Structure 1
Amino acid sequence: MARLEGKVAIITGAAQGMGASHAKRFIEEGAKVVLTDLNEEKGQAFAAELGENALFVKQNVTSEEDWAHVVAEAEKAFGPVTILVNNAGISVAKSILQTTLEEYRRIVEINQVSVFLGMKTVIPSMQKAGGGSIVNISSMNGLVGGAIGYTDTKFAVRGMTKAAALECANYGIRVNSVHPGVIATPMVVQEDTKAAVEEFSKHIPLKRVAQSEEVSNMVVFLASDEASYSTGSEFIVDGGLTAQ
């Protein structure tokens, strides 16, 4: 039997990159998936490619109204939600002195507030289903320092995960965070950064960057019943970077 058979999932930021990889694996494992993103053209095309068990809903993850709409559409199409993957996020590579308050607040809204809104909105649907699994995508920079704004919010995701896990345990809802290292997404391996990434990979204990599918494998595990006794924990996919 497929590992996610009978599950209904919402995955944010799923039109491309790691989110798309997660959605593809979820479909392969038998889940019904609602993909959300601001990029409607890519999202609709990708959902069509995935087939009848995929539904795209355009979403601004910082909007409480959009979250309510996404959950309503998921329940209407597939039934109560049993999996939430808070994947959407951004990074701004600027120093603290260069970062404006507006830029900083935007990072906080997308990387941190969206995770709060997602959990708050989806938990009642999971209660109707009798339980579920929330997977919050943080980063290795939720464990060690990195860019201002990005690091702060990814640490916050880690903390929110633990707080929510304790509260949701009584509902049969597990909440865990995943902490990827350097992943070969289109944003990371574009021409102007490719050489720098290849050079950096020499310092990774496993001597390479990860493929999106390697993170998806961890997300599938946490979403599945195989991880039935794991909650409030960090799962690291970084090739050994934070072990140094």
Structure 2
Amino acid sequence: MSEQLTFSLPAKEALGREDYFVSGANALAVAAVENWLNWPLNKLVLVGPTGSGKTHLAMVWAHETGARIARADALDDPVALAQGPLVIEDLHLIAGDRTAETQAFHMHNLMQEAGQPMLVTSARAPARIEFALPDLRSRMEGTSIATLEALDDALLMALVMKMFSDRQIALKPDLLNYILPRLPRSFDAVRGFVETMDARALAEKRPIGKGLARDVLAEIARE
């Protein structure tokens, strides 16, 4: 049989640094994140468009450093969060929310006082975020920035292979070559594609092959 049969095995996402593929789209950002012991003022803003892999890279850093992860609009216990390294996700989403911005400002100051490293993710650079709180704007604009570009061919291929591998599925080269030019270039799209392929293969008792891939890609295109 040329197509791969599927089995119900748990998906375990590999988050070690060795599992994170580096290409031209993310090399500089990865190097900046890896150099966290030398971040100016112990902080860095990781900027990139939706689907560029900000959360994935932040999770790798959190895995290595033991950092907690919190959304920018959910910094409800700043004293506890400031006890160690911290990832604050989606800074851009609190723009104009004075309450959330005030919490983020206090969180920033507590992390600085504690001397703990802080990685902030955002879809836009701080200078392009319309903050309501001038103090938060000045703190964020004074933070070093690392930028992720959209997925390139090499990173897209590595990501597809990794996410299937996390589910104990090895793709055949012809299937990989079929998928890559048809798949949207974003982490979220790849993750959704892999999850749907796996779920439908199990539910419909179909092999992981071109037929199923064609159906799932058509479904994605209609969304």
Q: TM-score interval w.r.t. the shorter chain?
A: 0.3 to 0.5
Q: RCO higher in 1 or 2 (8 Å CA, sep ≥ 6)? A: 2
More strand, by proportion = 1
Larger radius of gyration: 2
TM-score after normalising by structure 1: 0.32
TM-score after normalising by structure 2: 0.34
